[in-house]
Amino acid sequence: MTVQSRDPSADPLYARPLPERPSYATGMMLAAQDFSDEQTYHRGRLARALAQLSGNGTLAGLRVHHEPEVTGGEAPHPEEIVVDPGVAVDRLGRLIEVPRPACLRLVPWFTQQAAVQGGDAMRLASYDNLSRFASVRRQADATPLPAAAVVADVYLRFIACAHGYTPSFATGPYDALDAVSVSRLRDAYEVVMTLRAGLSNTHSGLPLQGTDLSGAAPAERRAAAQDAVLAAYPATGRSGSTDPLDPLPEHPPVFDHSAVFLARLFIPVQALVATGAPLRSADAPQVDNFGRRFLPAVDLLANAIGL
């Protein structure tokens, strides 16, 4: 039996704990919390280093693409949005690995979203002039964007899966001889696709990419990199703080702010409507994979600069 915890606060790293590690002595009485604190310390230090070293984003893989419905042949499947296997780092420095393709069925998702708030939720996430919400690379693509489309974003988030139940002493005001407790927590993932209302000419809802220094002189690049490092320690979210994670531009207002943005989906519709949900057109959805944050491996960066 496996139980998924989708509550971000269920992971002690979400609270950015103080870097305190247990100190042991011979004869000391130990409880389960002591061992949990030991894990939290090592997980927290490693995650903190990874978050500051690489930032959050895609380390490898995780390309998102659209698969049309296949009704015949040896492998029929419904219309899907597919996330390829890969690895990402979230804002807390936690590794999120997708070991095999993850699929989202588009037709049930679209039908469900079209019924939210009588269709108004989908209507508010429908736009024309879509290039303003596309990545720079997608804007340069010769393939035209739809005239009108529903905009939805795909995210990857960390979840813990509790499994491996084993006999244990009962806890709380119970008297049980058959009590069990979780013996394993598996670091797992969840793919989430959500409508993006509230986009505008001044708010694309895409991740900030930072300053492009490729055209600057070497001395200017060095100075900019040094200034960026000196300003990199966050004002919020520090170890031991109790403040929540600030939302990033790619996060909707009510959302897990540790989630990693993967791609933007443009689902063509027949026309924008004044009330209710728009109707899908016959055109295939388009996926923009290039608005995300990329975290290239060191050898890739070395090759890029000729080392």
pLDDT digits (tens, 9 = 90+) for 157-210: 999 888 888 887 777 666 666 677 888 888 899 999 999 999 999 999 999 987
Tokens of residue 22, six digits: 């247990």
Q: Torsions phi, psi of 266, nearest 5?
A: -110, 110
Give the distance, in angstroms, between the CA of residue 53 and the centroid of all CA atoms in the same chain.
18
Number of neighbours of residue 124 by Cβ within 10 angstroms: 15
Environment class of residue 210 by beta-carbon count within 10 Å: exposed (0-12), middle (13-18) or buried (19+)?
Answer: exposed
Mean pLDDT of the chain: 89
Q: 251 with 192: CB under 8 angstroms?
A: no
pLDDT at 260 > cutoff 70 = yes
DSSP character at residue 107: H
What confidence tens digit (pLDDT) does each residue in 106-127 have?
A: 999 999 999 999 999 999 999 9
Residue 305 token pair: 């600069």
Predicted TM-score (pTM) of the model is: 0.90
Classify 93 in phi/psi space as left (phi over 0), alpha (psi -120 to 50) or beta. Answer: left
What is the pLDDT, as a whole number, of residue 9? Answer: 66
Q: What are phi and psi of 303, to 5 degrees?
A: -65, -35
| Confidence check: pLDDT of 241 > 80 | no
The token duo for 79 is 């219309």
Q: Provide, rounded to the nearest whole percent, the portion of the chain with pLDDT above 70.
A: 95
Which of 306, 299, 252 has its CA nearest to residue 60? 299
Q: State residue 121 phi and psi, 5-degree precision.
A: -60, -40
Q: DSSP secondary-structure letter at 50?
A: H
Lowest mean pLDDT among 163-167, 174-178, 271-275, 299-303: 174-178
Please check the confidence at residue 146 and state whether its pLDDT lies above 70.
Answer: yes
Q: What is the DSSP string of 120-143?
A: HHHHTTEEESGGGGS-HHHHTSSS
pLDDT value for 64: 98
The residue count of the chain comes to 307
Question: In this predicted model, which residue has the larger pLDDT, 172 or 217?
Answer: 217
The pLDDT value given to residue 277: 95
Mean pLDDT of 225-251: 84
Q: Is the pLDDT of residue 1 over 50?
A: no
Q: What is the pLDDT of residues 7-55, one digit of tens each?
A: 666 788 888 888 899 999 999 998 888 988 899 999 989 999 998 888 8
- Nearest C-alpha neighbor of 150 from the set 201, 183, 194: 194
Longest dimension (CA), the chain: 73
d(Cα 93, Cα 79) in Å, to the nearest integer?
33
Q: Residues of the chain with pLDDT > 90: what percent?
A: 57
Tell me, what's the pLDDT at 8? 63
Vertex 17 angle, CA 165 and 32, to 5°: 35
> Of 238, 281, 7, which Cα lies nearest the Cα of 148?
281
